[in-house]
A and B are shown apart, each in its own frame.
Chain A
Amino acid sequence: MLKKLNNIGDAAIVCDFGDEVNQQVNNEVIKLFQHIKKKNSLNILPGILNCTPSYNKLLISFDLRLTSSKEIHNFINSVDLTILKLDQKVKEWIIPICYNYELDLKNIVKELKLSKEEIINYHLNTTFFIYMIGFVPGHPFMGDLDSKLFLNRLKTPRVRVPPGSVGIVEKFCNIYPYESPGGWNIIGRTPVKLFNNKDMLKPCLLSPGDTVKFKSISKKEFNNYQNE
């Protein structure tokens, strides 16, 4: 449920759906996100620049030349949130992962007292929900992992994590789209390109609200995929 609206500077507001982080709360965020996107594309709500869903919040930034905090507040307050429905266009993705290209499994085995196979199976059996995409282009934050796999961030983040690396922290799983620094526990790597800066229609593969299941592939399949 929408708990409050806060002004973020003079050209953005944030819709706060409370402190809980779960799929139900995030669904509320995504529903409002999709609703505003739609209104904006129909030019019913001019001046909206960006709409950014996160776990439990929706940030709306706007052009102060065209609208104001007050107008956005009034609009949000006029929306009957109880009748909004999730867009049916959400996709169910199957993403290949090669668990041989891991960096942390050995340590995770020790820390969680589970075998490598058990860890992989828990991961493969999870249908992940994409809470949000961001920080850098195409980077998904997904959940929820089985509580048996809950881990903290690495004590010392890595300076370089290879592109496609799949990491886990707490109940969340991510995929690094680019080579970048990173503090998540890396359990495998996908050859799938999550972001294509040359695609003029759909540069980002995944969307907030989509679901992801992983499919285990061998090193050979990984390399074939990359050569395609």
Chain B
Amino acid sequence: MNKSFLKVLRSGVNTTYQDNGRFGLQHFGISAAGCMDQESFFLANALVRNKIEEGVLEFAYQGPLLKLIKGNTKIAITGDVNFNIINSKKEITNGECNRTYNLKEGEKIDILATKESVYGYLAIEGGFNIKPFFNSISTLVKGKIGPNGGNKIIINDEIAFNKNSSNKSFLSTRILSKKFNAIRVVKGPQYDYFSKLSQKEFFSSNYKVTNLTDRMGMRLEGQRIKNIISTNIRSEGIAKGAIQIPADGQPIILLNDHPTIGGYPKIAYIISADYDSLVQTKPGTNLSFECIELEEAEKLYKEKQDKISKIINSIREIN
């Protein structure tokens, strides 16, 4: 078979295949997984003219070093990423995010690190050649579900892709800065489990993102939140973005690979519009939370979708 593929010369620490997520299996204990930062994921695909929900490679902190062994392709990297393109004469080009690169046989992409963010994305024109599991190529490492036996990418893996690119043009777009003041939330179902003082402090003090943060959850450190009713509830279904407060009073925000059910009370939920900003926040950063109403959360999400459409529509050919 005449397959086109990249070879993994260095895996990076958290490199997985992801798409929009695998849905409809949570009642079997399988959470959706999927790309953490949806905006960067959509944009990576849009740049190489894929469907926006096509599978990509997601990496965190240090990314992979990949060599194109067979074929020609076009790629785009999104996020806030430091990377190089290395040609067969070992000449290094400093890579820019949010634009495409044509890659020829023998060339390498060296994704050194994400900068002021956590996750980055590599999309390839035509997508990766991977058999989906329940309509998705997302990897749920904890459940061993998805491509690669549900595991992260490792050294010497071969990454097959569908299409040999003949299109020589480059595409690029500009994105607006993602700086934000506070992460906005709506009240959770057990908001009243916490003391009036703790409710106030939760919204007026800062919480530090700790190193105990991954695709499953983000542990925060700050003012202890006091439970006045019960530190356990009957286990119930979990949706991503839940801010649960275990007995020690330190919040844990549940992210894409969350357990499907859980028994800790939840003080609040991250709004969908701010989820991407949240997950891109590096450990050591201080966060604050602002409480808004549901209607406003829905309005902000619409605005965010409009913003993403605008960015995608602004993709232009460059020389």
Using a CB–CB cutoff of 8 Å, the interface residues on chain A facing chain B are 6-12, 14, 19, 21, 33, 40, 49-59, 61, 64-65, 68-69, 132-139, 141, 195, 197, 200, 203-204, 207-208
Contact = CB atoms under 8 A, between A and B. Distances in A.
Nearest to A7: B294
Q: Which residue among B27, B145, B239, B301 has the maximum number of chain A CB atoms within 10 Å of its CB?
A: B27
B294 A134 contact: no
A86 B24 CA distance: 19
Contacts of B27: 33, 50-53, 132-134, 207-208
Given A52-B238, A59-B238, A197-B145, 6 more contacts: A50-B27, A134-B260, A136-B260, A137-B143, A138-B28, A204-B29
Nearest to B297: A10
A14 B28 CA distance: 18
B270 A52 contact: no
A134 B186 contact: no
Q: Which residue among B133, B188, B237, B260 has the maximum number of chain A CB atoms within 10 Å of its CB?
A: B237
Given A9-B269, A10-B272, A10-B301, A55 B234 contact: yes
A139 B142 CA distance: 14
Contacts of A19: 234
Interface of B: 21, 23-30, 32, 133-134, 142-145, 149-150, 186, 188-189, 234-239, 241-242, 259-262, 269-272, 294, 297-298, 301, 305
Contacts, number: 142
Contacts of B305: 65
A2 to B, nearest CB: 15
Contact of B143 (A9, A52, A69, A197): A197
A207 B145 CA distance: 18
B267 to A, nearest CB: 12
Q: Which residue among B30, B269, B272, B294 has the maximum number of chain A CB atoms within 10 Å of its CB?
A: B30
Contact of B145 (A33, A49, A50, A137): A137
A50 B298 contact: no
Q: Which residue among B29, B238, B260, B305 has the maximum number of chain A CB atoms within 10 Å of its CB?
A: B29
Contacts of A68: 298
Contact of B28 (A6, A61, A133): A133
Contacts of B301: 10, 64
